[in-house]
Amino acid sequence: MTPDDILKALYDETLVGNAPRVLELTEEGLGLSMEPQTLLFDALIPSLEEVGARFERGDFFVPEMLIAGRAMAGAMERLRPLLAETGVETIGKFLMGTVKGDVHDIGKNLVNIMLEGAGFEVIDLGVQVAPEKFVAAIEEHQPDIVGFSAFLTTTMPMFKANMNALEKAGIRDEVIVMVGGAPVTQEYADAVGADGYAADASQTVKRAKSLIEAKRTKVPA
């Protein structure tokens, strides 16, 4: 296969979520001395963006999103250390977790994949993350953004508990806070004092980028 064939096949096989084939093609591409960034930015990310677009149009559903995301995640496992070696600067560091009392993580994991695909370094704390664990992880990893995810109306109040924990630890102003999840709205995000909210994975990427950009260009008072 030529490099162009590899990119086309990688795009197509990611789109249909053929994880074993995506990994094979990634290896083949690397075997042809293709740059990891080329595989990522010219095949994997465009394919996942197409998955997102089809989802928004109603042509794809959650299973198709997940299966494509898993395929890309498999390739990313292989590419991540290579990308790190190349010294490509990440857009920013994003710390993510589902709040305490909530085990739902499908949406969060899709967001993680999209963020990573867009060039963020993602640190995922998993599910049922207690406020003190978020605080400790922020202090350890110094992320640009922390994301709180909740799927249940009964666990959404943990956003406020997390915000209070950040305030108490004196780190609220050091990190951008984004919130999301099925029941979350912009109004709720505003009410708990979050800096950003997005309704889905692709919007999260756009919002995260704009929040980081705004923070970096902000002139200190």
For residues 63-76, one letter each, b for 16 or more C-beta atoms within 10 angstroms of the residue's C-beta and e for the rest, the string is: ebbbbbbebbbbbb
Q: Which of residues 111-130 bind another protein (CB under 8 A)?
A: 127-128
Apex 55 CA angle, 54 and 57, nearest 5: 65
Alpha helix positions (H), the chain = 3-15, 19-31, 36-39, 45-57, 62-85, 106-117, 131-141, 158-169, 186-192, 201-217
- Of 3, 46, 74, 101, the residue at the interface with another protein (CB under 8 A) is 101
How near is the Cβ of 169 to another protein at its closest, in Å? 24
- Of 23, 66, 161, 199, the residue at the interface with another protein (CB under 8 A) is 66
> Among 21-29, 60-68, 115-123, 194-202, which window interacts with another protein (CB under 8 A)?
60-68
Give the H or E element holding residue 97.
strand 92-98
Residue 153 makes contact with another protein by CB under 8 A: yes
Q: Which of residues 168-207 bind another protein (CB under 8 A)?
A: 182-183, 185
How near is the Cβ of 4 to another protein at its closest, in Å? 29
Residue 161 makes contact with another protein by CB under 8 A: no
Residue 62 makes contact with another protein by CB under 8 A: yes
